[in-house]
Amino acid sequence: MEAFAALLGGFETALTVQNLIFVFVGVLLGTLIGMLPGIGPINGIAILIPITFALDLNPTTMLILFAGIYYGSQYGNSISAILLNVPGTASSVATTLDGYEMAKRGRAGPALAMSAIASFIGGTLSIFGLVFLAPALAQFAIRFGPAEYFVLIVFTFTTISALTGKYFVKGLIATGIGLVLATIGLDPGTGVPRFTFGQLPLYDGIDFVSATIGLFAVAEVFQLLEQSRIGGEVRTKIGRAMVSVKEFWESFWVMIRSALTGFLVGTLPGAGATIASFLAYSNEQRWVDKEGSFGQGDVRGVAAPEAANNASVSGAMIPLLTLGVPGSGTTAVMLAALLALNLNPGPLFIQQQPDLFWGLIASMYIGNVMLLVLNLPLVGLFIRVLLIPRWVLVPSVAVIGYVAVFSVNSSVFDLMVMTALGVLGYLLRKLNIPVAPVILALVLGPMMETNLRRALSLAQGDAMVLVGSPITIVLWIMVAASVILPIVTRKNPLASASPAAESRDEEDAPPLND
């Protein structure tokens, strides 16, 4: 009941004119960003950060906007998956399997409708999970001291290394690279400059907006250059975007189960929407596909991944909001934006910032309703966006990324950092090294170091403090499990659900032509 009253208060926050406008902007941009191959939510959010700072948006509105982009992109990504056989972001790869088959058989309309409905069910159901799980986890995490936080961050690093990308060792390398970049700047403990080479702009460390746009957007431009072929023809004739009652009931339990799967997977660090969608797809294939129709244009094959990838977004918000330790690249960028506004998410965050937390929750309900309207009757309008030629689209994205980075400090130096990281991001992608752990380590690196040194200071340098409580010991066991499992099974344990899930990390937009 307490949660219910708090939620009502949240609606009061979310229903202000300003917040309503920004949730709409968020879900609209999210749908577009999700739909366009090559731009994912992480780019969209990073690009908008300087703009929200310039507009002086309050943190609640900012988070409502960013969350809108995040879950909105999980609606939009299926549009190109179904119509073009090109997933808008990696988490709709599973949707192409049946979605594109349906489109080929002239059933693009029902496929789009089912994807929107499944997204809505996954999105709204998972918010309930967020409402109940987040306060409970926060209650538990109050007991976390610096030592516990240190081990928790180590656990986040090992899990994301194991779960993104195909090879564990490459995930570890990516984490290492991110940690190296994170140490540049003034030492958080004593304030001495480290690895700055006397360059004044480096004293503040590598700016996360430059880093994100470099590693994701600029690297994507380089990668797109390599691919000359563009996906199939856009099917603009989609027919009526509606499913029959029979199809809906057929898919009903599929959606409920997939939403649960997606939500739980989303809470894990590193797992995210891509793995959630494949896991849901393969589970449903095993459970309900008696006739072997999955992959042949079965509507349930669209419902499962779409419910799951939307549900995973709510799950991913939990560690961000209750622990302050995000588990994915996109949530890491959101954390960095909150930290820049001097807000520290953690166990007390919900109590200290009830307007922010409950306003965000309420806005997610509102946003999902808006998305259902945008993606059912208005889907025909969005399809036109897919007709923009690539020679206009890619330079536009590059220029907007440039403006965003430049506007942070009006600094050409930042632009060069961004470009250099763009080259790094391109090389990493070519080498099959996932990029998401780099950005996560860049954001969490200073936090890891601060907590480690604080824990040791409090214990007068006694390293035993790191295993000094039951929570730390349990966390170390989890770290050990996340290191040993991928080595023993030689496979990404969750992504092995489908070969296509391997080597893709959540935020890496997949290539245009596969």
Residue 342, number of CB atoms within 10 A of its CB: 7
3-state secondary structure at position 186 = strand
- Which one among 179, 320, 343, 356 touches other proteins, defined by CB under 8 A? 179
3-state secondary structure at position 197 = coil
Q: How far is the CB of 226 from other proteins (least distance, A)?
A: 5
- Which one among 107, 166, 257, 504 touches other proteins, defined by CB under 8 A? 166
Rank residues 198 and 292 by Cβ distance to other proteins and give the closer one. Answer: 198
- Which one among 26, 34, 37, 50 touches other proteins, defined by CB under 8 A? 50
**Buried (b) or exposed (e) across 117-126, using 16+ Cβ within 10 A?**
bbbbbbbbbb
Q: Tokens in use for 87? A: 């997933």
Q: Does 21 bind other proteins (CB under 8 A)?
A: no
Q: How far is the CB of 233 from other proteins (least distance, A)?
A: 17
Q: Does 491 bind other proteins (CB under 8 A)?
A: no
- Which one among 3, 25, 180, 376 touches other proteins, defined by CB under 8 A? 180
Q: Do residues 268 and 318 touch, judged by C-beta distance below 8 A?
A: no
Residues in the chain: 514
Q: Does 233 bind other proteins (CB under 8 A)?
A: no
- Which one among 235, 453, 468, 491 touches other proteins, defined by CB under 8 A? 453
Q: What is the 3-state secondary structure (H, E, C) of 76-127?
A: HHHHHHHHHCCCCCHHHHHHHHHHHHHHHCCCHHHHHHHHHHHHHHHHHHHH
d(CA 32, CA 212): 19
Q: Do residues 110 and 102 touch, judged by C-beta distance below 8 A?
A: yes
The 8-class DSSP code of residue 462 comes to -
Q: How far is the CB of 444 from other proteins (least distance, A)?
A: 13
Residues 6+ apart with CB under 8 A from 510: 37, 86, 87, 89, 90, 93, 504
Q: Tokens in use for 380? A: 């025909």
- Which one among 283, 407, 469, 496 touches other proteins, defined by CB under 8 A? 407
Q: How far is the CB of 402 from other proteins (least distance, A)?
A: 7
Strand partners, 194: 185
Q: Tokens in use for 80? A: 């190109």
Q: How far is the CB of 267 from other proteins (least distance, A)?
A: 26
Q: Does 456 bind other proteins (CB under 8 A)?
A: yes
Rank residues 1 and 392 by Cβ distance to other proteins and give the closer one. Answer: 392
- Nearest-CA neighbor of 160 among 179, 178, 175? 175
Q: Does 18 bind other proteins (CB under 8 A)?
A: no
Q: Does 292 bind other proteins (CB under 8 A)?
A: no
Q: How far is the CB of 445 from other proteins (least distance, A)?
A: 8
d(CA 478, CA 151): 10
Q: How far is the CB of 254 from other proteins (least distance, A)?
A: 35
d(CA 39, CA 228): 17
Site for other proteins in 422-441 (CB under 8 A): 422-423, 426-427, 430-433
Site for other proteins in 372-401 (CB under 8 A): 389-392, 394-396, 398-400
3-state secondary structure at position 246 = helix
Amino acid 395 reads P
d(CA 63, CA 352): 16
Which stretch, 101-109, 123-131, 175-183, 374-382, contacts other proteins (CB under 8 A)?
Answer: 175-183
Which stretch, 50-58, 125-133, 320-328, 491-499, contacts other proteins (CB under 8 A)?
Answer: 50-58
Q: Does 177 bind other proteins (CB under 8 A)?
A: yes
Q: Does 480 bind other proteins (CB under 8 A)?
A: no
Please give the helix or strand (H or E) that residue 152 lies within, else none. helix 146-163
- Which one among 8, 136, 142, 169 touches other proteins, defined by CB under 8 A? 169
Site string for other proteins, 196-225 (x = CB under 8 A): ----------------------x--xx-xx
Q: Does 402 bind other proteins (CB under 8 A)?
A: yes
Residue 245, number of CB atoms within 10 A of its CB: 7
Amino acid 81 reads A
List Cα–Cα distances, 101 to 235, 276, 347, in angstroms. 13, 21, 46
- Which one among 449, 505, 506, 508 touches other proteins, defined by CB under 8 A? 449
Q: Does 499 bind other proteins (CB under 8 A)?
A: no
Q: Does 295 bind other proteins (CB under 8 A)?
A: no
**Buried (b) or exposed (e) across 190-203, using 16+ Cβ within 10 A?**
eeeeeebeeeebbe
Q: How far is the CB of 212 from other proteins (least distance, A)?
A: 16
Q: How far is the CB of 158 from other proteins (least distance, A)?
A: 11
Site string for other proteins, 68-87 (x = CB under 8 A): --------------------
- Nearest-CA neighbor of 75 among 463, 475, 480, 378? 378
d(CA 395, CA 129): 40
Q: Does 189 bind other proteins (CB under 8 A)?
A: yes
Q: Does 55 bind other proteins (CB under 8 A)?
A: yes
d(CA 170, CA 432): 8
- Nearest-CA neighbor of 414 among 146, 202, 150? 202
First to last CA, the chain: 49
Which stretch, 75-83, 84-92, 178-186, 478-486, contacts other proteins (CB under 8 A)?
Answer: 178-186
- Kindly determine how many residues on this chain lie close enough to bind other proteins according to the rule CB under 8 A: 64
Q: Which residues bind other proteins (CB under 8 A)?
A: 50-51, 54-55, 166-167, 169-170, 172-173, 176-177, 179-180, 183, 187, 189-192, 194-195, 218, 221-222, 224-226, 228, 389-392, 394-396, 398-400, 402-403, 406-407, 410, 412, 415-416, 419, 422-423, 426-427, 430-433, 449, 452-454, 456-457, 460-461
